[in-house]
């Protein structure tokens, strides 16, 4: 859990620092999404590991849906290097299906396929976490209860999120800049990507404080598309110290 420096906006600094647990979703993307030339899960996770090491963000959980490895089984080796650098793997369904749109038997079967593929890495993690795809826990209480019971039987703890922004909206635009070689446009997309992430965190933290009367700890879950953020700047620079270790408490 990282104690961040206060986020500063037009209205001035936040009233208190934020505690932010950094997690990651979908290092393999989704089936059919693919990666541009020069990118694959190993490259993207490697760059993220470099960034986390640079800013002292340890033990990040990667919530991993696995349908893409049906077509690219070699991608699983990226998880060896990810865990080898001190990070962890968590479950996230196989096909990235929403429980709101799926019946329970189909959802549970999909989840079990995810666990089957990820077990060698799940077994290494200090806590066995699962994140519902889209953070959708079911559209009826009965569906939620059935899946929660299955998670308990499989030794999994559900991990929600409190902060998110629509990072995937930048993906197609960024891929277009890579294919056309438009370095100016690529820099603009990277800058807007980082600014949007910070703005979303600032706004969602303010909403949480208004609702709860205090600032709770937050959990963020950026996905890992091949959209690198720009070099550190005053608007995006992480704290100079602190731990982002996320344990069950």
End-to-end CA gap in the chain: 11
Band of pLDDT at residue 237, cut at 50, 70 and 90:
very low
- What would the pLDDT profile of 123-167 be if each residue is shown by its tens digit? 999 999 999 999 999 999 999 999 999 999 999 999 999 888 888
Q: Are 159 and 127 in contact (CB under 8 A)?
A: no
Tokens 């069950």, residue? 248
**Average pLDDT for 80-95:** 97
pLDDT at 186: 92
Helix (H, G, I), strand (E, B) or coil at 85: coil
Q: List, for residues 7-62, the tens digit of each pLDDT value.
A: 544 444 445 688 899 999 999 998 877 787 788 999 999 999 999 999 999 999 99
Q: Looking up tokens 């799926």, which residue turns up?
A: 102
Q: What are phi and psi of 244, to 5 degrees?
A: -110, 15
DSSP single-letter state for residue 11: T
Classify residue 227 by burial, with Cβ atoms within 10 Å: 0-12, 13-18, 19+: buried
CA dihedral 162, 167, 168, 171 (to 10 degrees): -160
- The C-alpha atoms of residue 128 and residue 152 are separated, in whole angstroms, by 10
Sequence spans of domains, the chain: 2-220
**Separation CA 154–CA 114 (nearest Å):** 12
Query: Look-up: residue for tokens 């019971």?
Result: 149
pLDDT of residue 238: 37
Give pLDDT tens digits for 165-224.
Answer: 888 888 889 888 988 999 999 999 999 999 998 999 999 999 999 999 999 999 988 876
Q: Looking at the domain covering 2-220, what would its CATH class be?
A: alpha beta
Q: In the prediction, which pLDDT does 38 show?
A: 83
Any idea which of 60-64, 74-78, 112-116, 231-235 has the lowest mean pLDDT? 231-235
pTM of this prediction? 0.83
């Amino acid at each position: 859990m990282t104690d961040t420096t206060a986020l500063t906006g037009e209205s001035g600094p936040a009233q208190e620092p934020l505690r932010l647990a950094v997690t990651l979703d979908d290092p393999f993307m989704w089936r059919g999404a693919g990666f541009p030339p020069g990118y694959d899960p190993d490259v993207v996770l490697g760059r993220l590991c470099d960034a986390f090491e640079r800013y002292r963000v340890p033990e990040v959980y990667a919530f991993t849906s696995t349908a893409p490895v049906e077509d690219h089984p070699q991608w699983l080796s990226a998880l060896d290097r990810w865990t080898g650098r001190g990070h962890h793997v968590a479950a996230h369904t196989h096909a990235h299906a929403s429980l709101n749109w799926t019946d329970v038997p189909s959802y549970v079967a999909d989840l079990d396929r995810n666990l089957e593929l990820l077990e060698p890495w799940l077994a290494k993690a200090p806590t066995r976490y699962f994140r519902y795809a889209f953070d959708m826990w079911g559209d009826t209480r009965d569906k939620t209860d059935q899946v929660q019971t299955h998670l308990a039987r499989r030794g999994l703890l559900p991990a929600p999120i409190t902060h998110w922004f629509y990072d995937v909206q930048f993906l197609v635009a960024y891929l277009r800049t890579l294919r056309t070689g438009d370095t100016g446009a690529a820099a603009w997309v990277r800058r807007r990507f980082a600014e949007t992430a910070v703005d979303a965190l600032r706004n969602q933290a303010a909403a949480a404080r208004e609702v709860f009367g205090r600032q709770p700890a937050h959990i963020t879950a950026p996905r890992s598309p091949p959209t690198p953020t720009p070099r550190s700047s005053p608007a995006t620079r992480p704290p100079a110290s602190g731990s982002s270790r996320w344990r069950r408490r």
